[in-house]
Structure 1
Amino acid sequence: MKKLFYSIALSVLVAAGSSCKKVDNYAAPNVTLKGTVTDAGTGKSLQTEQGSGTRIKLLEISWSDNPTPFYISSYQDGTYQNTKLFAGKNVISAEGAFVPLVQVDNTGKTIVDKSQTVDVKDVTTVNFSVEPFLRIEWVGDPVLNADGTITTSFKITRGTADPNFQQNVSDVAVFVNSNNYVGNNNYDNRYTPKLGGDDANNAVGKTISLTTLGGKLPGKRSYFIRVGAKMSYGLNYYNYTDVKEVKVP
């Protein structure tokens, strides 16, 4: 009799559990959002550092008036892509080492809004044109010297005429690394020369040449060189050149 009672009770519990079970019928996210952040002054993609630089901010307003932001990190070359999104209406902007696309005053009132409201579906492309805080240009290619060091020449200018975003330049560096993912978040400090303080700020508008540290570089390998500079504003993101390779025999 006890066995019969336990069997009936177990059957009831299993049935109850089955009736409460929910089946997830939602398809996996498969929408792609991609694009490029470009320098409005040159039309070129805005170089950044992957994972710690330019990011794309999404606010999905399909279901909420106060959504939680979702961010997509840009690649080093200024492009971005995410292939695992859900379709929906999003307010999209970009954040990085450039004049903010969305600005608020001291009271919290929005005074500039260059975000884009987009129905993200299938494969959607959203590009941004921005004014970088700083623009850094190569002056010739990096030179391998007879003593085994590398000298890099470059020029830093302001990327915007807006005086609200022309703070002092705080840091300049010629980042050196053994692979092409090079920047403030990935470099070899044994070889990377830097400027700071007044030396960094006084570099604006001039042709500057810096030579790798540590004497003769180990040979039979490539070194990847990239110039970065930042000013004292916000999250202190760097502006960058593209990457150049120097082969040391």
Structure 2
Amino acid sequence: MRTLFLYTALAGLFFLNACAKTDNYDGPNASMQGQVMDKVTKKPLLTGQGEFSIRLLETSWSDNPAPQDLAVRQDGSYSNSKLFQATYTLQPYGGPFWPAEKIEGFQLGASAEQNFEVTPYLQIKNVKWTLKAENKLDVSCSLTAPVTAGLPQVIEVRPFLSLTPYCGAGNRIDAYYKDEYRTLINKNWSEIGDMQTGEGTETYTINDLPLKSGYTYYVRMGAKVRDTYEKFNYSEIEVIKVP
């Protein structure tokens, strides 16, 4: 019995000693930043805060690495200062754009800057708004498609309103995110636009959005297609001050 106790005690000491050994691996000490650009306009992609990501696959140690996603900000920028110095595959992922090219064999040292170009499914053009009596807002827009062949079906157009400069599907006033304040389309591009030029043939208008006196609203229009992610392409943000 005493021998069994002695063996148990020794095993416990070995276990504690193993746990107490210092981890010799360096922590994540690399940083990376960059910008996602619209390939058509050559400007930062119009997006919402955190609505898609830069997907990293660390290929240094595994043939089947788990993905790590870096959120992209509303201005199209991204950054992260807690990465490992390693070899990665990089790709803009999960956004309202045609599948982006992968950058393979990217060597991340202490710091790096890497920009990307993507082609959006849709562009929201000719945004116009009118603030009417009783603070009712009318807003309209049209669409263009930079690439028409193979474009997924267009689902809808709708406005997004916010009380802060962050405005989009993830930063909105829910009271305006209703079916009555959208135009449901569910059509192929050939039914709503020119397949050669990519110009849309329709104007989409949302009427009588009720605003409150004394408030400043941040407003933009969004449209999405029926792909895997169904994220919105956006217009620029308009600032509307209600007297």
Change (3 A) 1:69 1:225: same
Q: Which amino acid aligns with 1:236?
A: E
1:89 is matched with: 87
Q: CA RMSD in A?
A: 2.8
What is the TM-score with the length of structure 1 in the denominator?
0.79
1:57 is matched with: 55
- Conserved 8 A contact 1:139-1:207: no
- Note the alpha carbon deviations across 1:218-245, whole angstroms, 9 max, x for none: 1112111011100112211111123222
- Note the alpha carbon deviations across 1:185-217, whole angstroms, 9 max, x for none: 33224335211135897483434332343x4x2
Structure 1: how far apart are the matches of 2:57 and 2:81? 17
Aligned length: 228
Structure 2: how far apart are the matches of 1:63 and 1:11? 37
- Conserved 8 A contact 2:85-2:110: yes
1:111 is matched with: none
- Conserved 8 A contact 1:32-1:83: yes
What's the offset of the Cα at 1:57?
1.0
- Note the alpha carbon deviations across 1:61-100, whole angstroms, 9 max, x for none: 1111221111112112211111111111101011211110
Unaligned runs of 5+ in 2: 194-199
- Conserved 8 A contact 1:172-1:200: no
Indicate which of 69, 72, 85 corresponds to 2:70: 72
SS in 2 for 1:220: coil
What is the TM-score with the length of structure 2 in the denominator?
0.81
1:239 is matched with: 233
1:168 is matched with: 153
2:182 aligned with 1:194, yes or no? yes
Change (3 A) 1:171 1:143: same
Change (3 A) 1:225 1:91: same
Structure 1: how far apart are the matches of 2:43 and 2:219? 19
Indicate which of 206, 209, 220 corresponds to 2:205: 209
2:120 aligned with 1:137, yes or no? no
SS in 2 for 1:62: coil
Q: Which amino acid aligns with 2:97?
A: F
Indicate which of 208, 211, 214 corresponds to 1:220: 214
Structure 2: how far apart are the matches of 1:91 and 1:43? 24
